[in-house]
C-alpha cells in the first residue's frame, strides 16, 4: 500500500463504479439505468479521458433476481 498514488486510487475507484453500474443494469434494467438519476455515475465511468467498454447485456431473464 506504500505505492498507492492518486492515479492508482482513481483507477481502482473507477473500476468499482464501473462494476456497480453493470450490476445495477442487471438488477434495475436498461431503462432505469439510462435515466437521468444515473448520470453522475455514468459520467464517472464513461468519459473522454477513459477508453474501454461498459458491459450491458441486452437480455436478462425477468426471474433472474438480484445479483
- What would the pLDDT profile of 27-43 be if each residue is shown by its tens digit? 888 888 888 998 888 88
- The structure's pTM equals 0.62
Instruction: Give the residue numbers spanning the domain of 26.
Output: 6-50
User: pLDDT-derived band of residue 67, with 50, 70 and 90 as boundaries?
Assistant: very low
Residues 14/58, Cβ–Cβ less than 8 Å: no
Q: What's the rounded mean pLDDT across residues 46-56? A: 65
DSSP state letter for 10: H
List helix spans (H) across 1-67: 6-28, 30-33, 39-45
61 falls within a domain? no
60 falls within a domain? no
Give residues with Cβ within 8 angstroms of 38, minimum separation 6.
Answer: 21, 24, 32
26 falls within a domain? yes
How many independent structural domains does the chain possess? 1
Burial class (CB in 10 A: 0-12, 13-18, 19+), 35: exposed
Amino acid at each position: 500500500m506504500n505505492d498507492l498514488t492518486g492515479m492508482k486510487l482513481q483507477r481502482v475507484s473507477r473500476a468499482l463504479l464501473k462494476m456497480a453500474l453493470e450490476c445495477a443494469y442487471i438488477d434495475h434494467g436498461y431503462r432505469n439505468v439510462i435515466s437521468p438519476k444515473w448520470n453522475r455515475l455514468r459520467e464517472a465511468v464513461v468519459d473522454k479521458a477513459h477508453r474501454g467498454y461498459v458491459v450491458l447485456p441486452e437480455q436478462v431473464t425477468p426471474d433472474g433476481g438480484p445479483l
